[in-house]
A and B are shown apart, each in its own frame.
Chain A
Amino acid sequence: MENINRNEEGYLTDFSQWTKDVGAEIAKDKEIEMTDQHWKVVDYLQGKHKNEEALSIRGIKKSGVVNIKEFYSLFPGGPLKISTMIAGIPKPKSCI
């Protein structure tokens, strides 16, 4: 993990450094044990990121990957914030 570039908040700054191990390591920091269901969400998020599409709770809802309640139970706290960190993609943000 020491060779992985991350910003002050812990988000990867270079997606090419992401591997499943890196994701699992970040998850462990957040006290999350990754399951198939977690990885499905990560897959979906990375796909959206690759297509340069904005992430939203609605997008997750419509994705058919998980429902929102499940999304919250998979990534407790701030699900979008935590799942994007694990996925190695930038945190969803506003313009300022």
Chain B
Amino acid sequence: MKNLVILGAGTSGTMMANHLVGKLPKNDWKITIVDQYKTHYYQPGFLFLPFDIYTTKQVKKKGKKFIPKKVNYINQKIEQIFPEENKIKLENEDINYDILIIATGTKIAPEEIEGMKGPKWQKNIFDFYTYEGAKALRDKLRTWKGGKLAVHITEMPIKCPVAPLEFAFLADSYFVKKGMRDKVEISFVTPLDGAFTKPKATKALHYLLEEKGIKEVTDFNLESIDYENDKMIDYSGKEVEYDLLVTVPTNLGDELMVRSGLGDDMNFVPTDKATLQSKKHENIFVIGDATNLPASKAGSVAHFEAEILTDNILLYIDGKPLKEEFDGHANCFIETGNGKALLIDFNYTHEPVEGTFPFAGIGPLNLLKETRMNHMGKMAFRWIYWNMLIKGTHIPFVSATMTKKGKIFD
């Protein structure tokens, strides 16, 4: 009996377990998945939790529900991977593998910035990338009287790069609805040179910031937070004052990679961008946010990767060459507030452009345009996530690699 081990039972790991259980020869392969946590979170929902759009119940379920019965599911902390010995040390036991899939994701690391995770953490400095953070921010917003709201990205890369912008848009709608928009100044603070950084998106979407009265502060590389005086200070000495800071802290790969000597300087695992095989070890594959790929860290990316990685695992077992097929495909809904949303579809080489999706000329979804239909798509996605996506069901009409059909490239 051979062993395939998946580390991490988040979006990527759970998808891989579901894909592989029906495809690996049952008599020859045993599949094990390890995660120290028992809860599976619907992470896109963390964006809506602070605004009371989703309840806490809508964003979490028992992880066990989504792991196939024939897969060995272990709830233990992972201490270290020994790639030379094909061995993993868990909290209470050691396990061996023939093939390893790393799906340990990325986490926020607020302690990386001086003054961020200090006495004001979750008092007037919040994140919304964790369940706890999003929930604490919800409670804060319920009673907040207004002032300067800074929505901030510490450094790239981050998970779901558009989420901070969506947060700023939703905050605008939220305060309008509460009849207190005039009491809130919203700024969007980024280390990049704009809220939008690609030419076509900037052209099509910059009006949103003006329409919603959101001020951009660009090229801001945070050095420290002066929490006593409620201001952020960047490396060039620039300052941004806030009454309420909603930040996306530095995102790092799992500490396990440091302990195992498998990560780069942000603990992400160097991975072949087309095959998803790790660069150092041929029997280790990497998926989702844990990779160092120049693709977005997003569930849709993991979903497309999972289809290609499944094929590649089977090819690897058969001793055949791997498919060099992953193209960085991402497909993301972007909430713009007031019941509308955008949809973007892009890959390593093609920036998001206008057009229709998934059917050329028909839609029903519009690319790079604000519509109500796109918003309905985003809302429907929660059902798709729990019922199709993590179960590894193919989403009809949406291929793993990006299509150019229905798009306007000039």
Contacts and interface: CB of A to CB of B under 8 A. Distances in A.
A78 B234 CA distance: 11
A1 to B, nearest CB: 22
A93 B157 contact: no
B205 A96 contact: yes
Nearest to B332: A95
Interface string A52-86: 11101111001100001101100011111100000
A94 B156 contact: yes
Nearest to A63: B265
The range of chain B's interface size is 35 or more
Contact of B250 (A52, A58, A71): A58
Contacts of A94: 156, 161-162, 192, 196-198
B161 A52 contact: no
A80 B156 CA distance: 12
B155 A56 contact: yes
A81 B325 CA distance: 31
Contacts of A68: 221, 223, 235
Nearest to A52: B294
Contacts of A54: 156-157, 266, 292, 294
B219 A81 contact: yes
Contacts of A79: 221
A68 B192 CA distance: 16
B264 A53 contact: yes
A36 interface: no
Given A54-B157, A69-B235, A78-B193, A95 B162 contact: yes
Contacts, number: 80
Interface in B329-346: 330, 332, 334, 344, 346
Contact of A91 (B197, B205, B270): B197
The dominant DSSP class at the A interface is loop
A76 B238 CA distance: 13
Given A52-B273, A69-B235, A96-B352, A58 B266 contact: yes
Interface in A4-63: 8, 51-54, 56-59, 62-63
A26 to B, nearest CB: 16
B193 A77 contact: no
B161 A77 contact: no
A57 B198 CA distance: 20
A96 B344 contact: yes
Given A91-B197, A93-B197, A93-B198, A57 B273 contact: no
Contacts of A56: 155-157, 266
Contacts of B223: 68
Interface of B: 112, 155-157, 161-162, 191-193, 196-199, 201, 205, 219, 221, 223, 235-236, 250, 264-266, 270, 273, 292-294, 296, 330, 332, 334, 344, 346, 352
25 contacts: A52-B273, A52-B294, A54-B156, A54-B266, A56-B155, A56-B156, A57-B235, A58-B112, A58-B265, A58-B266, A59-B266, A62-B265, A63-B265, A68-B221, A68-B235, A76-B236, A77-B219, A78-B193, A81-B193, A91-B197, A92-B156, A94-B162, A96-B161, A96-B201, A96-B205
Interface of A: 8, 51-54, 56-59, 62-63, 68-69, 71-72, 76-81, 91-96
Given A68-B223, A72-B235, A92-B192, 11 more contacts: A54-B266, A54-B294, A57-B155, A57-B235, A63-B265, A93-B192, A95-B161, A95-B162, A95-B346, A96-B197, A96-B334
